[in-house]
């Protein structure tokens, strides 16, 4: 009772420069969401807020608002954020406010920790919120702990629940498959639930990505309107539940997917959920994406502020067919192109079961002696001689049944003991819930780097979802596998990070099938898709750019869609982290020169491309043209990328309205990345315009030429 009286009308304000998320206590001691939206101007207004007796069901059972972390069995009949079976079998939890602490993490970020407790059980729930002022990002996670006599069971354990109240809600989701990553689609939300989730375990995001955009009142739009963008930092099964309740309020619950994952929690142990990371904007998704990009570069992405290496990869070019001579030749080609690194892909390992195709050898991380008789040291030396760095592909979480590893350690493999095994790409997943397996996976990287300190980069692949879901290690705790697998993976990545803090790594998963902000604490970049057809890439990169900054997205020039010009392919890859995966001997002399010059241009403009702000001007989803821009922080340098996909005959071409420029500065515009011997066909080329003119009047830079592209450099005078 005392606690309730003391804490009545407690107001907790979590804010960024543009957003407020405010919680208030009620007379019952419970804490409710009172406001979530555009930042309030006057501190005094906050006292007028109350939780307003919102809430869905008219239960009469004590539910008086939007519970900050809605527990099951507390009088609200909609989807809970928390579900506990207590040690006595009771399935209800009621959380009241206990305390709040705030601390400044740096001048820009503040952490608020709200502690809740249950009057009937020794249970503590701590809700953490870190608000990044300037970037307008809030990340939140939850810690659950108890002192009951016996373990409790968690049936639901979301990271967060948010409530929204608008006349209409539109959900944009990102679905996918191999070579079809991040396809965007939008639908209105109606009463009832819409769930976005995965049950794939490892290659978790293959069919559905852990991102969403909500248009509030109207569909999410690039340049205007209120939107909420959210993502979960979890490299495994996640679930977003969007539930429109009886009052037409929307509840957004984000967290690990509790599917087949009831978790036993012993007394004294803490269950920590992953981070749910979100932002809102009153000026559309373009701005919200820039919030994510800036935050990722400053706070989340491994080496977020650092440089990125351009590279030549051999996968599309050679597949598994290569030898030392071939690789030495490719290193020379890398040098010729002017890229920073040569990246050796799959097929370099396995002896008893040589990895000459994807059916054998995975797990046996010894160099294949008859293919590469002088081992990795020779390759590192050859790269050094060519003047490029050397990177290497691994897939350490997986095993082919045809491997020495599978013969030696069958108990390390996730596999049902009593049913026929089914395979995805002829392979199985190692049981990372097992500490011995964690040692082995860490040992793959550690061993390679100990023997070859010259290795400068890893591409870490993960081609299979978890199949035949059974852990020999977890025995009677099978329901914990999906969660413990991911935790095991993080333990391995933590060890790598601690021992080799500076090694850049690419996250890959049969293309872009594993992609989240927790993994990207350990990876500098990710492979967006095996689909490098430049037309498809325009859509895939548009999708990923909703959440990820350009420097995190690897884009390679390959021979997918040979009907398009090399220039078009390069221009598409230039928007992101540039690489090549193509044999130079297949290119004409002009194309080779063009590629070399493009690498030089890319290096010169890296500060704008990798660290500039991204403005998506024209969507490929809305017609046959697309355009984006990068603008540096000082608004003194910008790059405009324009692409014509399959324009119709005689179609109307509209001017492109620039964004992000300083209206009062004069900008000289010059077309760059031209094929040798060609000149820009644009009349305005080389002319100077004010930022105001470029943004309001715009320039007619689209054409009707199929799969063509033009890049323009803008320099403030
Ligand atoms: C996956 C990756 C490719 C390549 C192959 C190698 O499919 O996405 O880039 O590394 O594996 O087997």
Q: What are phi and psi of 430, to 5 degrees?
A: -75, 155
Q: Please choose from 461, 527, 556, 560 the residue to mutate so as to test ligand 1's pocket, defined by most ligand atoms within 8 A of CB.
A: 461
Identify the residue whose tokens are 């991911």: 486
Identify the residue whose tokens are 């373990």: 151
Asked whether residue 590 falls in the same domain as residue 678, the answer is no
Residue closest via CA to ligand 1's atom 1 equals 510
Q: Please choose from 319, 320, 346 the residue to mutate so as to test ligand 1's pocket, defined by most ligand atoms within 8 A of CB.
A: 346
Q: Establish if 305 belongs to a structural domain.
A: no
Counting beta carbons within 10 angstroms of the beta carbon of residue 46, is it exposed (0 to 12), middle (13 to 18) or buried (19 or more)?
A: middle
Q: Which of 345, 346, 364, 530 is catalytic?
A: 530
Q: Is the CB of 438 under 6 A from ligand 1?
A: no
pLDDT in the model for residue 223: 97
Asked whether residue 439 falls in the same domain as residue 347, the answer is yes
Q: What's the CA gap between 625 and 644, in Å, rounded?
A: 5
Q: What's the CA gap between 549 and 610, in Å, rounded?
A: 8
Q: Establish if 210 belongs to a structural domain.
A: yes
State the residue range of the domain holding 590: 311-611
Nearest-atom number in ligand 1 for the CA of 511 is: 8
Asked whether residue 251 falls in the same domain as residue 190, the answer is yes
Asked whether residue 533 falls in the same domain as residue 399, the answer is yes
Q: What's the CA gap between 117 and 148, in Å, rounded?
A: 13
Q: Please choose from 345, 348, 396, 581 the residue to mutate so as to test ligand 1's pocket, defined by most ligand atoms within 8 A of CB.
A: 345
Asked whether residue 88 falls in the same domain as residue 168, the answer is yes
The alpha carbon of 96 and the centre of ligand 1 are apart by a number of angstroms equal to 50
- Apex CA 716: angle with CA 293 and CA 298, to 5°? 20
Estimate to the nearest angstrom the gap between the alpha carbon of 175 and the chain centroid. 14
Q: What's the CA gap between 702 and 670, in Å, rounded?
A: 15
The alpha carbon of 532 and the centre of ligand 1 are apart by a number of angstroms equal to 12
CATH classification at residue 489: 3.20.20.70
Residue closest via CA to ligand 1's atom 6 equals 346
Task: Please choose, from the candidates 132, 128, 141, 140, the residue with its C-alpha nearest in 3D space to the C-alpha of residue 106.
Answer: 132
Q: Which of 67, 76, 346, 461 is catalytic?
A: 461
DSSP at 291:
H
Q: Could you give the 3-state DSSP secondary structure of residue 87?
A: coil
Estimate to the nearest angstrom the gap between the alpha carbon of 381 and the chain centroid. 35
34 within 8 A of 23, measured Cβ to Cβ = yes
pLDDT digits (tens, 9 = 90+) for 149-191: 999 999 999 999 999 999 999 999 999 999 999 999 999 999 9
Task: Please choose, from the candidates 515, 507, 518, 409, the residue with its C-alpha nearest in 3D space to the C-alpha of residue 458.
Answer: 507
- Report CA-CA distances (Å) from 247 to 56, 170, 408, 712: 6, 17, 59, 51
Q: What's the CA gap between 643 and 222, in Å, rounded?
A: 18
Average pLDDT value for the chain: 96
* Residue 454 token pair: 């010259």
Q: What's the CA gap between 559 and 581, in Å, rounded?
A: 8
The alpha carbon of 315 and the centre of ligand 1 are apart by a number of angstroms equal to 7
pLDDT in the model for residue 59: 44
Q: Is the CB of 461 under 6 A from ligand 1?
A: yes
Q: What is the number of other CB atoms lying within 10 angstroms of the CB of residue 259? A: 12
Alpha helix (H) ranges present in 296-358? 315-318, 324-337
The alpha carbon of 219 and the centre of ligand 1 are apart by a number of angstroms equal to 36
Identify the segments of the chain with pLDDT beneath 70. 1-8, 51-53, 55-63
Q: Establish if 318 belongs to a structural domain.
A: yes
Q: What kind and span of H or E run contains 495?
A: helix 481-499
pLDDT in the model for residue 434: 98
Q: Could you give the 3-state DSSP secondary structure of residue 131?
A: strand
Task: Please choose, from the candidates 457, 480, 494, the residue with its C-alpha nearest in 3D space to the C-alpha of residue 157.
Answer: 480
The alpha carbon of 20 and the centre of ligand 1 are apart by a number of angstroms equal to 43
Q: Helix 534-544 and helix 566-573: axis angle, to 10°?
A: 10
Q: Is the CB of 394 under 6 A from ligand 1?
A: no
Task: Please choose, from the candidates 302, 304, 300, the residue with its C-alpha nearest in 3D space to the C-alpha of residue 274.
Answer: 300
Alpha helix (H) ranges present in 519-631? 534-544, 566-573, 589-611
Q: Establish if 306 belongs to a structural domain.
A: no
Beta bridge partners, 37, equal 20
Q: Is the CB of 460 under 6 A from ligand 1?
A: no
The sign of the torsion formed by the CA atoms of 581, 587, 593, 594 equals negative
Q: Please choose from 314, 317, 530, 537 the residue to mutate so as to test ligand 1's pocket, defined by most ligand atoms within 8 A of CB.
A: 530
Q: Is the CB of 613 under 6 A from ligand 1?
A: no
CATH classification at residue 148: 2.70.98.60
Q: Is the CB of 395 under 6 A from ligand 1?
A: no
Asked whether residue 41 falls in the same domain as residue 161, the answer is yes
Q: Could you give the 3-state DSSP secondary structure of residue 404?
A: helix
Asked whether residue 315 falls in the same domain as residue 170, the answer is no
pLDDT digits (tens, 9 = 90+) for 632-656: 999 999 999 999 999 999 999 999 9
74 within 8 A of 93, measured Cβ to Cβ = yes
* Residue 215 token pair: 């248009």
Identify the residue whose tokens are 């750019």: 545
Q: Establish if 701 belongs to a structural domain.
A: yes
* Residue 277 token pair: 């990371």
CATH classification at residue 631: 2.60.40.1180
Q: What's the CA gap between 525 and 543, in Å, rounded?
A: 16
The alpha carbon of 398 and the centre of ligand 1 are apart by a number of angstroms equal to 13
The alpha carbon of 507 and the centre of ligand 1 are apart by a number of angstroms equal to 11
Let me know how long the chain is: 717
pLDDT in the model for residue 61: 46
704 within 8 A of 650, measured Cβ to Cβ = yes
Q: What's the CA gap between 391 and 368, in Å, rounded?
A: 17
The alpha carbon of 461 and the centre of ligand 1 are apart by a number of angstroms equal to 7
Q: Establish if 639 belongs to a structural domain.
A: yes
* Residue 279 token pair: 């932002």
The alpha carbon of 363 and the centre of ligand 1 are apart by a number of angstroms equal to 15
Asked whether residue 236 falls in the same domain as residue 380, the answer is no
Q: Establish if 556 belongs to a structural domain.
A: yes
| Terminal-to-terminal C-alpha distance of the chain | 68
pTM over 0.75: yes
Estimate to the nearest angstrom the gap between the alpha carbon of 121 and the chain centroid. 38
Q: Is the CB of 512 under 6 A from ligand 1?
A: no
- Report CA-CA distances (Å) from 697 to 56, 632, 654, 658: 48, 22, 11, 9
Q: Is the CB of 424 under 6 A from ligand 1?
A: no
Asked whether residue 472 falls in the same domain as residue 420, the answer is yes
Considering 263, 279, 300, which residue would you say is the last residue of a domain? Answer: 300
Q: Is the CB of 511 under 6 A from ligand 1?
A: yes
Residue closest via CA to ligand 1's atom 12 equals 346
Q: Is the CB of 591 under 6 A from ligand 1?
A: no
pLDDT in the model for residue 7: 61
658 contacts: CB under 8 Å, gap ≥ 6: 615, 617, 629, 638, 640, 691, 694, 695, 698, 699, 714
Asked whether residue 569 falls in the same domain as residue 467, the answer is yes
Own/partner pairs, 442-451, CB within 8 angstroms, 24+ separation: 442/492, 442/495, 442/496, 444/365, 444/394, 444/396, 445/394, 445/396, 445/496, 445/500, 446/495, 446/496, 446/499, 447/365, 448/365, 448/376, 448/392, 448/394, 449/500, 449/503, 451/376, 451/377
Considering 300, 319, 350, which residue would you say is the last residue of a domain? Answer: 300
Our answer to whether residue 461 is catalytic in this structure is yes
Asked whether residue 650 falls in the same domain as residue 527, the answer is no
Q: Establish if 551 belongs to a structural domain.
A: yes
Asked whether residue 378 falls in the same domain as residue 469, the answer is yes
Q: What's the structural domain count of the chain?
A: 3
Considering 588, 611, 634, which residue would you say is the last residue of a domain? Answer: 611
């Amino acid at each position: 009772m005392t606690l309730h009286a003391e804490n009545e009308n407690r107001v907790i304000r979590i804010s960024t420069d543009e957003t407020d998320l405010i919680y208030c206590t009620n007379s019952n001691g419970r804490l409710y969401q009172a406001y979530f939206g555009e930042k309030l101007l006057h501190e005094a207004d906050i006292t007028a807020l109350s939780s307003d007796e919102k809430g869905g069901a008219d239960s009469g059972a004590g539910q008086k608002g939007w519970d900050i972390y809605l527990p099951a069995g507390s009088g609200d009949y909609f989807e809970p954020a928390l579900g506990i079976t207590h040690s006595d079998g009771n399935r209800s939890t009621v959380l009241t406010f206990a305390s709040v602490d705030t601390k400044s993490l740096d001048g820009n970020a503040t952490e608020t920790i709200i502690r809740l407790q249950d009057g009937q059980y020794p249970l503590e729930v701590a809700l953490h919120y870190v608000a990044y002022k300037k970037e307008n990002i809030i990340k939140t996670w939850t810690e659950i702990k108890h002192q009951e006599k016996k373990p409790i069971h968690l049936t639901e354990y979301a990271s967060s629940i948010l409530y929204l109240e608008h006349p209409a809600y539109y959900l944009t989701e990102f679905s996918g498959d191999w070579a079809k990553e991040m396809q965007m689609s939008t639908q209105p939300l109606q009463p009832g639930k819409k769930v976005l989730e995965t049950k794939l375990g490892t290659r978790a995001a293959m069919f559905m990505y852990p991102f969403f955009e909500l248009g509030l009142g109207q569909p999410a739009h690039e340049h205007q309107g209120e939107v909420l963008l959210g993502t979960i930092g979890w490299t495994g099964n996640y679930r977003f539940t969007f539930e429109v309740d009886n009052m037409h309020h929307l509840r957004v619950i984000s967290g690990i997917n509790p599917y087949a994952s009831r978790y036993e929690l012993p007394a004294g142990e803490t269950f920590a959920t992953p981070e749910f990371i979100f932002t809102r904007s009153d000026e559309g998704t373009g701005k919200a994406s820039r919030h994510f990009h800036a935050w990722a570069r400053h706070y989340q992405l491994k080496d977020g502020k650092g440089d990125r290496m351009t590279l030549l990869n051999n996968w599309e070019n050679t597949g598994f067919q290569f030898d030392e001579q071939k690789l030495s030749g490719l290193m020379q080609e890398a040098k010729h192109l002017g890229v920073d690194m040569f990246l050796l892909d799959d097929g370099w390992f396995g002896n008893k079961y040589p990895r000459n195709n994807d059916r054998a050898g995975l797990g046996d991380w010894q160099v294949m002696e008859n293919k590469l008789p002088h081992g990795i040291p020779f390759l590192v030396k050859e790269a050094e001689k060519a003047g490029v760095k050397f990177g290497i592909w691994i897939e350490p979480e997986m095993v082919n049944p045809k491997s020495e590893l599978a013969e030696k350690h069958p108990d390390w493999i996730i596999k049902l003991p009593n049913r026929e095994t089914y395979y995805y790409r002829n392979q199985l997943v190692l049981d990372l819930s097992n500490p011995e397996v964690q040692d082995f996976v860490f040992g793959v990287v550690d061993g390679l780097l100990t023997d070859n300190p010259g290795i400068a980069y890893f591409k870490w692949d993960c081609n299979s979802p978890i199949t035949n879901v059974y852990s020999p290690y977890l025995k009677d705790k099978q329901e914990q596998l999906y969660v413990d697998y991911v935790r095991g993976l993080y333990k391995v990545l933590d060890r790598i990070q601690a021992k080799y803090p500076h090694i850049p790594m690419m996250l890959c998963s049969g293309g872009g099938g594993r992609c989240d902000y927790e993994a990207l604490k350990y990876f500098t970049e990710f492979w967006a898709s095996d689909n490098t057809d430049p037309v498809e890439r325009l859509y895939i990169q548009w999708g990923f750019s909703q959440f990820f900054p350009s420097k995190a997205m690897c884009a390679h020039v390959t021979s997918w869609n040979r009907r398009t010009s090399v220039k078009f392919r390069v221009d598409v890859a230039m928007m992101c982290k540039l690489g090549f995966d193509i044999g130079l001997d297949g290119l004409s002399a002009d194309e080779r020169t063009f590629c070399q010059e493009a690498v030089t241009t890319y290096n010169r403009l890296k500060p704008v491309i990798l660290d500039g702000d991204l403005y998506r001007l024209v969507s490929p989803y809305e017609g046959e043209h697309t355009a984006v821009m990068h603008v540096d922080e000082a608004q003194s340098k910008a790059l405009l990328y324009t692409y014509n996909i399959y324009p119709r005959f005689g179609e109307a071409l509209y001017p492109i309205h620039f964004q992000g420029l300083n209206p009062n500065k004069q900008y000289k515009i010059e077309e760059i990345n031209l094929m040798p011997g060609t000149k820009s066909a644009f009349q305005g080329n080389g002319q100077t315009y004010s930022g105001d003119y470029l943004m309001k009047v715009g320039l007619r830079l689209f054409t009707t030429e199929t799969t063509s592209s033009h890049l323009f450099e803008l320099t403030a005078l």
